Amino acid sequence: MLRQVAQGVWVHESEFCQSNAVVVLGRDGVLLIDAGIHGDEMTCLANDLSDVGQAVVAGFSTHPHWDHLLWHASLGGAPRYGTALCATTARDRLAGGIDPVRLGIPEDVPLELLGNITGLPEATARIPWDGPVVRILEHQAHAPGHAALLIEEHRVLVAGDMLSDVLIPMLDVNGTVDPVEDYLAALRLLESVAGGVDIVVPGHGSVGGSDQVQARIDQDRAYVLALRNGQVPADPRVGPSAKPGWEWVSDVHEGQLQRLAQ
């Protein structure tokens, strides 16, 4: 079910890890960001759109992790974009095939159209489509070529896998020389636009209002700084205060702590 979160912007939430697909209304159709997870959910989204006379005219993947690279035939054949680095990373990682079991991908997730991303030229500032300006804020936190998207006109920030109320910052610990600094730099980038944001949509978790934008930046920064200092952060997303169903995040936290201590 599509839920409106701002003028011209809707969210379709998945049962899988509270993943958020985002729909932005354009002049001749909609932009679909991180399309969804389960096949029946993407079909439901396609039906919801056709019920209101809309078709998908562009797609975008925020970063090259499988749960942000999916698509379903019912959504049509619109170009699907990502940053140049997102597209090449997805292509390289998928080239040898993937192991759905190892990656924890549910059985009914359609993988036929996984990762068919067109990389936008480096430093592209906005998504090429006929609709409200969607600014691309590329950074290197969490995954190579990760982009947050700012829909300035509607004051919405689509954060990808940052600024979540349920997931801690997950660092790209195998990918870069200084994953902590990459994460802090990305938080500074998001903070630089926070004054123009009333709604933040994380890749997983709850949509936040204007009081949540800076609060989540601060919370993510506090977590990352604690991690760098080898401390146990006072963070409601890990430990006994984690939301029901999200206890596994504490294991991710322990893994990151160990990895950075090496």
Taking the C-alpha atoms of residue 128 and residue 113, their distance in angstroms, rounded to an integer, is: 21
Which one of the spans 25-33, 42-50, 61-69, 86-94 is the region binding Zn ion (CB under 5 A)?
61-69
In the complex, minimum distance from the CB of residue 170 to Zn ion, in angstroms, rounded to a whole number: 7
Closer residue to Zn ion in complex, CB, 65/80: 65
Residue nearest to Zn ion (CB): 65
Closer residue to Zn ion in complex, CB, 26/64: 64
Could you give phi then psi for residue 128, rounded to 5 degrees?
-75, 100
Half-sphere CA count of 185, side-chain side, radius 13 A: 12
Closer residue to Zn ion in complex, CB, 46/148: 148
State which amino acid sits at residue 54: Q
Pick one of 161, 182, 220, 235: the residue that binds Zn ion (CB under 5 A).
161
Whole-angstrom CA distances from 99 to 16, 65, 66, 89, 94 are: 18, 13, 11, 17, 10
Closer residue to Zn ion in complex, CB, 89/219: 89
Which one of the spans 40-48, 60-68, 89-97, 178-186 is the region binding Zn ion (CB under 5 A)?
60-68
Applying CB under 5 A, the site for Zn ion has a residue count of 2
As beta bridge partners, residue 12 has 2, 21
As beta bridge partners, residue 28 has none
Which one of the spans 111-119, 156-164, 230-238, 243-251 is the region binding Zn ion (CB under 5 A)?
156-164
Query: Which string of x and - marks every residue 6-45 that binds Zn ion (by CB under 5 A)?
Result: ----------------------------------------
In the complex, minimum distance from the CB of residue 160 to Zn ion, in angstroms, rounded to a whole number: 7
CA 120 to chain centre: 17
User: Considering the rule CB under 5 A, would residue 65 count as an interface residue with Zn ion?
Assistant: yes
In the complex, minimum distance from the CB of residue 172 to Zn ion, in angstroms, rounded to a whole number: 9
Which one of the spans 50-58, 85-93, 158-166, 225-233 is the region binding Zn ion (CB under 5 A)?
158-166
Closer residue to Zn ion in complex, CB, 49/141: 141
Among 213, 158, 217, 127, CA closest to 19 = 158
Locus of tokens 């759109």:
49
In the complex, minimum distance from the CB of residue 68 to Zn ion, in angstroms, rounded to a whole number: 6
Among 101, 32, 96, CA closest to 69 = 32
Closer residue to Zn ion in complex, CB, 131/256: 256
Locus of tokens 């601060």:
218
Taking the C-alpha atoms of residue 182 and residue 176, their distance in angstroms, rounded to an integer, is: 8
Taking the C-alpha atoms of residue 57 and residue 60, their distance in angstroms, rounded to an integer, is: 11
Cβ–Cβ < 8 Å for 72, 116: no
Which one of the spans 26-34, 45-53, 57-65, 218-226 is the region binding Zn ion (CB under 5 A)?
57-65
What are the residues binding Zn ion (CB under 5 A)? 65, 161
